[in-house]
Amino acid sequence: MKKVILIFVFALSFWVSSFACDICGCGVGNNYIGILPDFKQKIIGMRFRYNSMLSHIGVDGVRTYLTTDETYRTLELYGGWNIGKHFRAMATVPYSFNERENRGTTSRKNGMGDISFTVYYQLLNSRKMFRQKLLVQNLFIGAGMKLPTGKYNPADKGNTSESGNLFQLGTASVDYTITAMYDLRVQDIGINVNGSYKINGTNKYEYRYGNKLTATTQLYYKYKMKNNLSLAPNAGILYENGKTDTDNGFRVDISGGKIFCVTAGIEVAYKKAAIGFSWQKPVSQDLAHGIVKANSRTMLHLSFLL
């Protein structure tokens, strides 16, 4: 049991020890992936994300004639492969549908986003009995890279002292991610902890999005039904924190910030197929010094084990 506590403390310390987010939206996206189905060899699936926000809001969140409604929809194709006993590789290919509306005028931007991939190493894979109940633990650490495959238009950043550079399909930079995933389950109840820290590079237009931390903790319960059907409702918290962007070496004040959300969702698995839904509700946020306000987010995924 002492070993269990130490591993949990390690995962939790990763959750809180890093400090540094581009605001939700654009090709930079958010790194939340929910609770993935357990797979022994390969997995392939699709995720649909829906994010919306208000920018240019006035004091105390009051709408002004500058206030803009922004919506970011992203469809992602992702896959995972277990290589040997300890390695796991995952890749994501996003396609985004961005929309911005202000005073009756709507602009749209659709296209491929930035492709990313991550390689994980499994530090722990344990299954044993504890007080007559099955105790299962998994711990992965990983590193990844995001490629500048999404289109970035430097003209669309506008005056970054007045508006965040969000309405892009990609960042035009090579970015790197370090991540850790820990899962502890006693019989049918478990806790899942994820933490990722993205280190953004400077693109050829001398713009650099701020580094981003995404961390989640979720409790879940697995209901095993008949005929290989299982349900796993879950609830938890999500935290994002980010540094400000820089443009030609100068700080972009209308960027960065932090947000704290509560999350709820459900995962349904049947044989080699799984579907999941999650909802994130902001309960506290300070984005771009209050100029930006994030709304609730949703995510839906469909996965197949191969």
pLDDT band (50, 70, 90) for residue 33: low
Whether the per-residue pLDDT at 117 is higher than 60: the answer is yes
Give the separation between CA 114 and CA 174, rounded to whole angstroms: 9
* Structural domain boundaries, residue 77: 2-305
Is the pLDDT at 55 greater than 50, yes or no? yes
> What stretch of H or E contains 17?
helix 2-17
pLDDT computed for residue 274 by the predictor: 92
Assign 63 a pLDDT band (cuts: 50, 70, 90).
Answer: confident
Is the per-residue pLDDT at 257 higher than 80? yes
Count of domains for the chain: 1
> So what's the pLDDT on residue 20?
30
Distance CA 133, CA 304 (A): 29
- Chain mean position to CA 61: 25
Say yes or no to pLDDT of 3 above 70. Answer: no
Whether 222 contacts 266, CB under 8 Å: no
Give the pLDDT mean for 130-148: 93
- The domain that holds 261 is classified in CATH as 2.40.128.130
User: How would you label 4-36 residue by residue, b for 16+ Cβ within 10 Å and e otherwise?
Assistant: eeebbebbeebbeebebbbbbbbbbbbbbbbbb
Q: Is the pLDDT of residue 240 over 70?
A: yes
Supply the pTM of this predicted model: 0.84
Q: What is the mean pLDDT of the chain?
A: 85
Higher pLDDT, 241 or 289: 241
Instruction: Give 179-228 pLDDT, tens digit per residue.
Output: 999 999 999 999 999 999 999 999 999 999 999 999 999 999 999 888 88
Q: pLDDT for 5-14, tens place per residue?
A: 333 333 333 3
- Residue 36 pLDDT: 57
pLDDT of residue 215: 93
